[in-house]
Amino acid sequence: MADTAFQEEDYTKRLDWAVWKRIFARAFSYRQWVAPLIVISLSSGVLDSLFNLVTRGVIDEVAKRGVDATLVWYALEYGGLVAGLVACIWLFIVLAGRVATQMSHDFRQEAFARLQDLSFSYYDTRPAGWLMARMTSDSRRLSDIIAWGLLDMVWGTTLMVCIAGLLLWMNWKLGLAVLAVVPILAWVSLAFQKAILASSRLVRKTNSRLTDAFNEAINGVSTTKVLVREEQNLSEFQGLSTEMYDASLRNAIQSALYLPIVLTISSVGVAAALYYGGMRAAVGGLSVGTLIAFIGYARQFFDPISQMARIFSELQHAQASAERLFGLIDTVPEIRDSPEVLQAIETHRGADPLEGVAEDGLPDRIETLEFENLSFAYKEGEEVLKDFSLKVRAGQRIALVGPTGGGKTTIVSLLCRFYEPTQGRILIDGVDYRHRALGWLQSKLGIVLQTPHLFSGTIRENIRYGRLDAADEEIEQAARLADAHDFIMALENGYDSRVDKEGANFSTGQKQLLSFARAIAADPWILVMDEATSSVDTQTERRIQRALTAVLEGRTSFVIAHRLSTIRSADLILVIENGRIAEQGAHHDLLRRRGAYYNLYADQFRHERETEELREAVAPAVK
Amino acid sequence: MESKVHLLWRLMRGKRLQYGAAIAALALGTAVSFVIPLVIRLAIDGVIDGKPVHAPAFVLDALRRMSAGQALASGAGAILALTAASGVFMYYRSKWAAEATEAIVRGARDRLYGHLQRLPMAYHAKADTGDLVQRCTSDVETIRTFLSSQVVEAGRGFLMLIIVLPLMARMDLRMTAVTMAITPVIIAFSAIFFFRVKDIFQEADEAEGDLTTVLQENLTGIRVVRAFARQDFECRKFGEKNEIFRGRQYQLVRLMAWYWSAGDMICLTQTGVTLIVGAHWVARGQLSLGTLYAFVTYLWMLLWPVRQLGRMLTSFGQALVSLGRLQEILGQPVEDAPAEPLAPPDEGIQGRVAIRRVGFAYEPDKPVLKEVSVDIDAGRTLALLGPTGSGKSTLARLLARLYDYQEGSILLDGMELNRLDRAFVRSRIGVVLQEPFLFSKTVGENIRMARHDADATKMAEAAAAACIDDSIQQFERGYDTPVGERGVTLSGGQRQRVALARALLSDPPVLILDDTLSAVDTHTESMILETLKARHGRRTTILIAHRLSTLMHADWIVVLDKGRVVQQGTHQTLSHEEGLYQRLWRIQGELEEELVRD
């Protein structure tokens, strides 16, 4: 679904040696498993080729010596082969499995770590679904092709070389006759495997469209009903399900054709062996055992060829997966500590942590924040912030108000250094924040988002996210301050209650209170808050207002404000319009101006009062 | 509820014969492929060894007249021809099985889709979308996998046995016993293994699910992660789950290693025993070489399907579970048709609505509407006002017959609503929902949704009336711009206006706007209200809104609270009557007071 928003070629046509060199280098780093895997694959190819030889021996022995034939040795030989092959099979599955699972594990871990460092501008252009696909299907596909593909290649090649050698050794003329079909077999197999792979991709793509259609049908069911669209929708869906039918059938028929055709081709080898071998055997030039071995080998060729054809057809897709995965791992975060800052951090790491000195060796405090002629554009040429300047002292509460898209969020994103200004500077006590450690700055910041995000786990874990070493009492204290303690205690398991995925089992109001508690636990110097606009019941609203006061108490704060109470209590109100400060000052001064702020305030006043009146009379307590 | 197997049987209706044909083709293909070892046996014993052989009279006749070279050449030719013939049968087996399966699956999908659309709102309100979609996709896929590979494959194992066993027994009974000795072991082994390994598969799936959850939450909450500088913590958290998942996967691989190696060992041992014991008898002259060859070949043909048996049983088990999950959807009753439907009037609907003492509850004992009575004359505008949860939207849903009222009556032009066909009611009483849904089609298609025959001019007029025409014109592809992920992302207000345009285009006799303008700014709203006035006198309009500016011009205003009508009147009367309307009306005054005080 999300893939469509950020589309790119599924695979590249040409084999890219640079990518494959990297893949091999990667495989080499697992050599403690890959080396034995290669040896085992080789051995199993050899062993596989020997069975027909034993059969030949048994038959010739019997044919030659009749009743006097001793079969014990052959039985032992056969038993030895079975034992050896079975051991090989066990080993190569375990080894290849080990390599594949370890490698995909490592790919995921590396990519995940990289994602933690990448700048937001990277996320802006890539939907979460796209990133998920890199982490799951690409890492798996690549690891599988490396481990299992390598195994099959080595096994298949060895087996084919051995069979060819044995055939030529037993009777080179007959051998050549049987081997004549191999190139045709290989060519046909490869062509089929490629076609089958292509059509199965189409099936998968159509399938994801089907999923979208079902999603839409269910989410839009009330709209469908009021528009009386059932028939129309169904007939559109039938078009899609017929497309799926066609695609699936095409894929199935290709597979249905493949096996008979390949088997028929390989039976040419069998027929050749029977005819030429039979002619010689009839005049005594060839033993019956050899003839049977020839027929057996002619059949045996088919399996490794079809396996290898399958792998070859997948190579291009594996390469595409590798390109995307390496692309993600190789991306350099746009925002990171400069070499100078890294140097400073390195210098100060060894020394005992000094009171009042941050990790980058500069003072561990923030007295003033200065925005100096900031401009910013997410896309080139589309400035969302123009020449923005502001000076803030520690402890000040700044309220940002104004229309959506005016640039309020951009200002706080720049402050958090999620983005860096395209022009101008942000100074912390006179030092450009790009000269300070990123980790230091962000650890002094607290953020409360408009849509609170919780992680699955327990309530306690979610609050502790603010400060990992917080004691249970401190967590409880934070919850109390955020007015969340009561509702938490009302839950069956209190602080150990489960939080579902995305906090789905809590109401919006509750999630907000929990995210406040988390921010309080973190005890940041600077708090950035995007006030929620969603309507909650009166009681929750009151709780939220109380909690808000507790969160903002004694900190420098930047609030994208909607509530009148929050706006009024700010030390400085900035009206942001079209990327500029339209008005700034304290509440009373701004009102007196009868400008943009006055209108905003009047609108908000009406809205807030109306909402208050229209709230459910008997407000249910927080769910 | 019918049994799952019965549902499967019913879904297969019309395609059962085709499966029969596929199985017949498989039988023929198998039979033909079994002749090949016989040909080789004949060649080895009769032609090369020159021993007397058992074969049909015509074959022996022909052989007698041929030289050795000719005989071998015909043998080789026969192998080719038989392989090709068997291939043709095998192709048809796969083709027919695929056609039948895909047709069944398509039928099942269409049925599910149609059924879902017709299930009552009461069902959808409780159902979990993700779960429903999962059932319609993954569960259908599970059934498809079973149908496509296992139905015919089940026939194969069975056929193999009934064709090949007599054949083998006729050649040599003792040898047959030796060849089949270990078959029960492998069947039992395979079945038990797949039964046991099911839990491990599930564990691995769950571990992957956990991993995905951490990843997903990290990606959606990346701002929170950065805000608290928890990158290392997140890496550790992910690492733990990653480790567990790797472990589970590896555990699975090791189990499979045991399965495949042990299975191979049993099969190879069986082949070895057959070969050595057979050779022993050949040496004693009790068995011909060719027969030995045929036995060894048959053994391989038999072993493969037998080894698949465990997988087949598992697949059947999974398909049954999935069938049960589909049955839970298909077994739900759809929206019922009225028992004695009223015939719609010939002259069309005027738009007169009379609501009489209507009562309704979503859940028993929790009434949402109580004794609600409201009258609207055709062509008039009615406004509904009330706090959240007072029952306004519920009333709108009852009018569109999304739910059926349980007490009282609603009359449309004097006809009882519950006795009119739902489609008829919905096409006469249009509702624009609070959070309108736009389909992933173009903007134009979305507007034309209920009126496909409307031309571009009509569409643009409706859009202009909803004050969205200008915005649409600004899109690069205008009305042909796709909505949603593949195209533009519309703001809440824009979505509402597109939905309004959609309703205005179909121009129903009664139009209900359920808080439709909540995300539209005040200025645009007043422009829209101005255009809506054109409907006045011609069409009935019901407005549900919060802003007084939206409501005050209505002909009649009804205030709902806790499911009851608490006040009704015009703007004139209500603004002089104590109550919600008056309190809202006074806010403007309060504001001025507040501004003065400051």
Percent of chain B with pLDDT over 70: 99
Residues A200 and A156 in one domain: yes
Q: How far apart are CA A155 and CA A615, in angstroms?
A: 73
Is A206 part of a structural domain of the chain? yes
Residue B197 has pLDDT above 80, yes or no: no
Asked whether A622 and A543 are in contact (CB, 8 A), the reply is yes
Give a yes or no: residue A117 inside a domain: yes
What CATH number corresponds to the domain at position A384? 3.40.50.300
Closest to A192 (Cα-Cα) out of A315, A309, A318:
A309
In B, minimum Cα distance to A241 occurs at B106
DSSP state string for A360-383:
TSSBS---EEEEEEEEEEEETTEE
Contact B215 A135 (CB under 8 A): yes
CATH number of residue A231's parent domain: 1.20.1560.10
Cα separations in angstroms, B544 against B255, B425, B479, B506, B513: 63, 19, 29, 20, 6
* Chain A CB contacts of B396 below 8 Å: none
- A507 in B contact zone (CB under 8 Å): no
- One domain for residues A420 and A553: yes
Which of B101, B105, B276 best tests the A interface by mutation, with the highest count of A CBs <10 A?
A: B276
Which chain A positions have a beta carbon within 8 Å of B102's beta carbon? 245, 248-249, 252
Percent of chain A residues topping a pLDDT of 90: 32
Sort A134 into a burial class: Cβ within 10 Å, 0-12 / 13-18 / 19+: buried
For chain A, the average pLDDT equals 86
State whether A376 and A227 are in the same domain. no
Contact B40 A55 (CB under 8 A): no
- Disruptive mutation site among B437, B438, B441 for chain A (greatest number of A CBs within 10 Å): B437
Is the residue at A9 inside a domain? no
Q: Which candidate from B98, B437, B561 shows the least CB-CB separation from A220? A: B437
Residues in chain A within 8 Å Cβ distance of B334: none
Residues 157-196 of B with CB under 8 A from A: none
Structure tokens at A157: 């090649």
- Residue A354 has a pLDDT of 65
A31 within a domain of the structure (yes/no): yes
A379: exposed, middle or buried (Cβ count in 10 Å: 0-12, 13-18, 19+): exposed
- Under an 8 A CB cutoff, do A260 and B79 touch? no
Interchain contact A505–B (C-beta under 8 A): no
| Res. A156 pLDDT band, cuts 50 70 90 | very high
Q: Which residue has the higher pLDDT, B542 or A452?
A: B542
Task: Give pLDDT, residue B374.
Answer: 94
Nearest-by-CA chain A residue for B74: A275
Provide the 8-state DSSP code for B483.
B
Which residue is closest to B109 within chain A, CA to CA?
A241
The answer on A266 and A132 residing in a single domain is yes
- CA distances (Å), origin B257, targets A87, A237, B210, B262, B264: 10, 43, 26, 8, 10
Same domain, A343 and A469: no
Distance CA A19, CA B238 (A): 27
Chain A CB contacts of B44 below 8 Å: 288, 291-292
Q: Are B51 and B288 in contact (CB under 8 A)?
A: yes
Q: Which of B415, B413, B269 is nearest to B338 (CA)?
A: B415
Contacts of residue A228 in chain B, CB cutoff 8 Å?
A: 423, 426-427, 450
Query: Among A370-379, B59-68, B254-263, which stretch is predicted with the lowest mean pLDDT?
Result: B59-68
Span B316-341, mean pLDDT?
88
Amino acid making up residue A601: Y
Q: Would you say residue A609 lies in a domain? A: no
Considering only CA atoms, which of A377, A373, A404 is closest in space to residue A560? A404
What local confidence, expressed as pLDDT, does residue A111 receive?
93
Of A142-151, A377-386, A419-428, B400-409, least confident by mean pLDDT is A377-386
pLDDT (0 to 100) of residue A351: 61
Mean pLDDT computed over A545-555: 83
Can you give the pLDDT at residue A295? Answer: 87
Domain of A133 in residue numbering reads as 17-329
- Start-end of H helices in A220-301: 221-226, 230-272, 278-282, 288-300
Asked whether the predicted pLDDT for residue A4 surpasses 50, the reply is no
Contact A109 B94 (CB under 8 A): no
pLDDT single digits (tens) B117-133: 999 998 998 888 888 98
Among candidate residues A541, A599, A540, the one with its CA nearest the CA of residue A566: A541
Tell me if residue A158 falls in helix, strand or coil.
helix
- B305 near A CB under 8 A: no
pLDDT digits (tens, 9 = 90+) for A567-578: 888 899 999 988
CB A462 within 8 A of CB A499: yes
**Bigger pLDDT: A13 vs A308:** A308
Residues A364, A481: one domain?
no
Amino acid occupying residue B88: V
Express each pLDDT in B393-427 by its tens digit.
899 999 999 999 999 999 999 999 999 999 999 98
Last residue of a domain, one of A298, A329, A360: A329
Per the prediction, chain B carries an average pLDDT of 87
DSSP string, B495-528: HHHHHHHHHHHH--SEEEEESTTTTS-HHHHHHH
Mean pLDDT of B303-314: 74
> To the nearest whole angstrom, how far is the Cα of A63 from the nearest Cα of chain B?
7
Write down the residue that tokens 């896929």 correspond to.
B141
A10 located within any domain = no
Using the predicted structure, report yes or no on whether residue A9 has a pLDDT greater than 70.
no
Confidence at B168, pLDDT banded by 50, 70, 90: confident
Pick the last residue of a domain from A475, A506, A523: A523
Contact B117 A614 (CB under 8 A): no
- The C-alpha of B314 sits at a distance from chain A's nearest C-alpha, in angstroms, of 22
Q: How many domains does chain A have?
A: 3
| Higher pLDDT pick, B370 / B533 | B370
B117/A102 touch (CB, cutoff 8 Å), yes or no:
no
What ipTM describes this predicted complex? Answer: 0.85
Query: In this structure, are A317 and A405 located in the same domain?
Result: no
Binary contact (B44, A447; C-beta < 8 A): no
**Do A437 and A470 sit in the same domain of this protein?**
no
- A127 shares its domain with A208: yes
Q: Which of B433, B453, B464 is nearest to B534 (CA)?
A: B464
Same domain, A289 and A228: yes
Assign B97 a pLDDT band (cuts: 50, 70, 90).
very high
Which of A77, A218, A276, A589 best tests the B interface by mutation, with the highest count of B CBs <10 A?
A218
Q: Rounded distance, CA B37 to CA B293, Å?
A: 7
Confidence bin at B587 (pLDDT 50/70/90): confident
Q: Is residue A366 part of a domain?
A: yes
Sheet holding A368-379, edge to edge: A382-393, A368-379, A423-428, A431-432
Nearest CA in chain A to B130: A215
CB B501 within 8 A of CB B445: no
Residue A226 has pLDDT above 70, yes or no: yes
**pLDDT one-digit tens code per residue, B137-156:** 889 998 998 888 787 877 77
Alpha carbon separation from A82 to A161, A406, B303 (Å, rounded): 21, 76, 16
Q: Residue range A601-606: average pLDDT?
A: 86
Last residue of a domain, one of A477, A502, A523: A523
Choose among A86, A214, A224: nearest Cβ to B136.
Answer: A214
Do A361 and A255 lie in one domain? The reply is no
If asked whether residues A458 and A574 sit together in one domain, one would say no
A292 in a structural domain: yes
Contacts of A60 in chain B (CB under 8 A): none
Q: What is the mean pLDDT of residues B426-445?
A: 88
**B 411-440 → A contacts, CB under 8 A:** 422-423, 426-427, 430-431, 433, 436-437, 439-440
What's the pLDDT at B493? 85
Q: Is B288's pLDDT higher than 70?
A: yes
| Record: contact B116-A105, CB cut-off 8 A | no
The pTM of this model reads 0.80
